[in-house]
């Protein structure tokens, strides 16, 4: 059995009782570390909490060569840990399909996800979100503009956009940097940059930071440590506007 276990948003307190029981009974425990990370804990503390050795996986271990995971799951109980909810990321859906093709039984234990937490923290209605996008760190000779094109397409349909910020091995994109990159993308594509943003830092922690305002305001705001995420809202419903005024300083 291969069980995908969501860890939630921030620390060890976010896992469900069902997920905790599954991990403690597992023969092998893997942690996928590249789509999201729990900033309120680390691997040694997780191992002490679960009473299990944890094998940390990179992208290539899951997407390119997951044979070890599938072989272990064919022989015993494997817990595959992910930040947030397991099936929000398509890479996990792909692994589940590979397991099915190999005759390995699978199950999912869900947990809190950033996609729902954003609506709760910002007050932006979840059914008004369009296609999401990710802002990557630019590289030499590579500066994609697809994220701002997604934002513009959503705004044309009066839909909000959830903007994921790049996570790399040794650095995490911050909200001010993401806003600056979106503005540069908009200039390169001849697109009007967004007039309003909502930035959220450390969702799931005891002290998340939520701020709404112009690009200039968010670039000047200290959101503190990661993880950060960004929303570009469409036209605000009166209730959304009031919520942002109360809880995000709009």
d(C-alpha 36, C-alpha 46), whole Å: 15
In the chain, the N- to C-terminal Cα span, in Å, equals 48
Distance (Å, rounded) from C-alpha 224 to C-alpha 109?
31
Per the document, the length of the chain is: 250
Burial of 220 (0-12, 13-18, 19+ CB in 10 A): exposed
Tens digit of each residue's pLDDT, the chain (250 residues):
999 999 999 999 999 999 999 999 999 999 998 888 999 999 999 999 999 999 999 888 898 889 999 999 999 999 999 999 998 888 899 999 999 999 999 999 999 999 999 999 999 999 999 999 999 999 888 999 999 999 999 999 999 999 999 998 889 999 999 999 999 999 999 999 999 999 999 999 999 999 999 999 999 999 999 999 999 999 999 999 999 999 999 9
* Residue whose C-alpha is closest to residue 111's, from 199, 36, 161: 36
CA atoms within 13 A on the CB side of 169: 4
- Compute the distance between CA of residue 77 and CA of residue 109 in angstroms, rounded to an integer: 14
How far is the C-alpha of 127 from the C-alpha of 119, rounded, in Å? 10
Spatial distance between the Cα atoms of 205 and 244, rounded to a whole number of angstroms: 19
Q: Which residues contact 209 (CB under 8 A, 6 or more apart)?
A: 199, 200, 201, 202, 223, 224
CA torsion, points 96, 101, 105, 109, in degrees to nearest 10? 10
What stretch of H or E contains 5? strand 2-6
* Helix pair 238-247, 114-122: axis angle to 10 deg: 90
Which stretch of DSSP H or E encloses residue 57?
Answer: strand 54-57
pTM of the model: 0.92
Rounded to whole angstroms, how far apart are CA atoms 203 and 210? 9
The residues near 16 (Cβ < 8 Å, ≥ 6 apart) are 6, 109, 110, 111
Bond preceding residue 246 cis, omega within 30 of 0: no
């Amino acid at each position: 059995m291969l069980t995908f276990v969501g860890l939630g948003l921030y620390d060890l307190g976010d896992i469900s009782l069902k997920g905790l029981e599954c991990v403690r009974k597992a023969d092998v425990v893997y942690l996928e570390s590249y789509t999201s990370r729990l900033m309120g804990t680390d691997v040694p503390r997780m191992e002490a909490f679960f009473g299990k050795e944890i094998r940390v996986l990179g992208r290539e271990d899951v997407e390119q060569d997951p044979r070890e995971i599938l072989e272990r799951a064919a022989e015993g109980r494997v817990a595959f840990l992910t930040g947030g909810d397991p099936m929000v990321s398509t890479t996990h859906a792909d692994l589940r399909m590979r397991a099915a093709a190999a005759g390995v039984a699978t199950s999912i234990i869900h947990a809190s996800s950033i996609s729902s937490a954003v609506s709760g923290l910002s007050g932006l209605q979840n059914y008004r979100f369009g296609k999401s996008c990710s802002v990557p760190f630019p590289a030499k000779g590579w500066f994609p503009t697809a994220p701002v094109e997604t934002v513009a397409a959503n705004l044309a349909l009066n839909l909000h956009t959830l903007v994921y910020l790049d996570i790399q091995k040794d650095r995490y994109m911050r909200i001010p940097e993401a806003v600056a990159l979106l503005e540069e993308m908009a200039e390169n594509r001849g697109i009007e940059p967004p007039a309003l943003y909502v930035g959220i830092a450390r969702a799931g922690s005891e002290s998340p930071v939520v701020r709404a305002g112009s690009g200039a305001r968010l670039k000047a705001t200290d959101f503190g440590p990661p993880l950060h995420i960004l929303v570009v809202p469409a036209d605000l419903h009166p209730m959304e506007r009031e919520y942002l005024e109360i809880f995000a300083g709009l």
